[in-house]
Amino acid sequence: MIECAVWWATPLPNEASHLSLLDPLEQGRHGNYRQEIDQRRFLTGRVLAKTVVGELLGLAPGEVEFDATCADCGKPHGPPRVTGASVTFSISHSGDRIGLAMADGVPVGLDVETATRRADDSLISYALSEAEAAALAGLEPAAKSTAFFTYWTRKEALMKATGRGLKIPLQGITLSPPGEPARLLESTDPALDPANARLTDLDPGDGYRAAVALLTDAEPKVTERWWTPPS
């Protein structure tokens, strides 16, 4: 049994007490966002992760160091990792939801999306395999949107767990249909093997869809909770 803990949060304000927890590279990324809400989402993800990881490792949040070096170009915009520890985590945010998923020694990927947008035909053809698109045929617009973003968050979570992101073609992944337990059925990419991939749908609240993926052959025990920021 693999344990995976998921925390949900809402955007923190751009206050000095929170900003002080960012290292110089993170402060640079924070400042590069043009919209304040994007700054706050980034800030919240880092503060949330440093607080939770710090509690696990017995460190103050400001003592937790992340390595976000991109494996392809060497720049500091890749998925963050904990320096010198086996803990793995993934951060995702959309709208007013920021999420953190954490496991130990197992690749993990988290995705959350606002599900109030319409899923038009171009988006469906871009993201879904033929079997998945057929499962959406004939659905009313609201049901189609919910089903599409169920597929989308599951796929994004899987791709994040591999560390390769959108380098894996979305259409090359086929998942179980919405309404059934989340499973990877087929993959054309060797980074994803149905025998070693586990998916769980999450509950981030009304208007959102979310999923977490772990690359393991063990069944996961996933818990969700809301995070209270340090005062």
Average of pLDDT values for 86-93? 96
Confidence of residue 138 (pLDDT cuts 50, 70, 90): confident
Three-state DSSP at 114 gives strand
Count Cβ atoms below 10 Å from residue 155 Cβ, excluding itself.
Answer: 29
pLDDT of residue 101: 98
Contact criterion met (CB below 8 Å) for 98 and 41? yes
Average of pLDDT values for 122-149? 92
User: Where are the chain's structural domains?
Assistant: 2-226
Structural domain 2-226, CATH architecture: Alpha-Beta Complex (3.90)
Query: How far lies 226's CA from each of 16, 37, 99, 157, 189, in Å?
Result: 23, 20, 9, 20, 34
pLDDT at 72 over 80: no
pLDDT of residue 99: 98
- Of the listed ranges 90-94, 119-123, 162-166, the one predicted with least confidence: 162-166
Pair of tokens at residue 47: 């503060």
pLDDT of residue 85: 87
201-231 per-position pLDDT tens digit: 999 999 999 999 999 999 999 999 999 887 6
Mean of per-residue pLDDT scores for the chain: 92
Q: Which residues pair with residue 104 across a beta bridge?
A: 87
pLDDT of residue 117: 83
Written as one string, the DSSP assignment of 144-189 is: HHHHHHHHHHHHHHHHHHHT-GGGS-GGGEEEPPTTS---EEEESS
Three-state DSSP at 61 gives helix
141-172 per-position pLDDT tens digit: 989 999 999 999 999 999 999 987 777 889 99
**DSSP, res 196:** G
Average of pLDDT values for 25-47? 96
